[in-house]
Amino acid sequence: MPRKKSNKKDENKIKDPNNEISKTKKKSQKQAKLSNDEFNSFVNDISREIIDKFGLDLINLKPDDIKDLVEEIINSIVESRVTKPSEESLLKKFINSKDQFMKGIAGRLIERDEVNSRERLELIIAYAPEIAGRASPRLYKIAKQLNAIDLIDNLRQLWNRYGLSTPIRCPVCGFNSVMPDMSCIVCGSLLDEKDIKKEINLREQLSKLKNVYNDKLIREIIDSGYVVFDGEIKPPSLKEKDKISISLHLNKDEKDILLKLLSKA
């Protein structure tokens, strides 16, 4: 496809003259189907219709805001057809693929940094959950400004499904988004071991470790002075390389909890 190789355009012109010929041919085929005037009037009419039919006026979008997306879609429909499409048949295609269109709108709002209302955020979550999940770090800040607590809950779920979710929950924003350096990739907080220990209830988990590990492994934790946490507490030797984890150093009290477990044996 010549379009995808846009950076090699000049090279292609010289090396592959057929490429240019086929391009011209394609263009004239398209012109035979719809005149420029027809094409533009279809784009204008359909953009207006869609704003109304899909309720996009409720999120403050105007026909001009969606024109380029409508244009792109009409173009691809026209290219895939042999005969000239009518405005009605084009509009029908838009209505039949509403979800897909709304997803495109959602993607654009994020791309252009135009998520500025609760309604727009709701649209993104409803129609483009994957995009919303991946864009959680940005959308979280917006939702927080809008005080949309319920939408933050939705974002947390989508982040877990589609984002870069980690085993460690951030006590500040509540997303599973703490990295091994103890920074949160959603809200940007810098945490310390104390925050994480509290968040995962380390002391209680340590006191139950005897149900999970034998004495040798518990002894290993005491001797090395730290545990690895990847959703579960582990002795350093059981650290899994491909899992995101955090090392938590044990203070005297925490070591004592483990020593007590061993003395009970």
**91 part of the interface to Zn ion, by CB under 5 A:** no
User: Considering the complex, what minimum distance in angstroms separates the CB of residue 234 from Zn ion?
Assistant: 23
- Distance, in Å, from the CA atom of 79 to the CA atom of 156, rounded to the nearest integer, reads 40
User: Considering the complex, what minimum distance in angstroms separates the CB of residue 178 from Zn ion?
Assistant: 7
Strands 246-249 and 233-234: unpaired
Q: Report the residue from 184, 202, 209, 218 that binds Zn ion according to the rule CB under 5 A.
A: 184
Name which of 2 and 231 has its Cβ closer to Zn ion: 231
User: Considering the complex, what minimum distance in angstroms separates the CB of residue 118 from Zn ion?
Assistant: 21
Where do the H-state alpha helices sit in the chain? 9-15, 17-33, 36-53, 63-79, 87-96, 98-111, 118-127, 129-134, 136-145, 149-162, 193-200, 202-207, 215-224, 252-263
- Distance, in Å, from the CA atom of 227 to the CA atom of 212, rounded to the nearest integer, reads 14
Q: Report the residue from 172, 217, 222, 259 that binds Zn ion according to the rule CB under 5 A.
A: 172
Q: Report the residue from 123, 148, 151, 170 that binds Zn ion according to the rule CB under 5 A.
A: 170
Q: Report which of 83, 16, 85, 15 is spatially closest to residue 46, judged by C-alpha positions.
A: 85
**173 part of the interface to Zn ion, by CB under 5 A:** yes
Candidate segments 46-54, 65-73, 167-175, 232-240, binder of Zn ion by CB under 5 A: 167-175
Candidate segments 29-37, 72-80, 179-187, 204-212, binder of Zn ion by CB under 5 A: 179-187
Name which of 66 and 143 has its Cβ closer to Zn ion: 143
- Distance, in Å, from the CA atom of 221 to the CA atom of 143, rounded to the nearest integer, reads 41
Name which of 33 and 144 has its Cβ closer to Zn ion: 144
Candidate segments 15-23, 188-196, 197-205, 244-252, binder of Zn ion by CB under 5 A: 188-196
Q: Which residues pair with 246 in a beta bridge?
A: 229
Candidate segments 6-14, 97-105, 120-128, 169-177, binder of Zn ion by CB under 5 A: 169-177
- Distance, in Å, from the CA atom of 221 to the CA atom of 80, rounded to the nearest integer, reads 65
Count other C-beta atoms under 10 Å from residue 93's C-beta: 15
**187 part of the interface to Zn ion, by CB under 5 A:** yes
Tell me, by CB under 5 A, how many residues bind Zn ion: 7
**179 part of the interface to Zn ion, by CB under 5 A:** no
Q: H-helix or E-strand containing 233?
A: strand 233-234
> What residues line the site for Zn ion (CB under 5 A)?
170, 172-173, 184, 186-187, 189
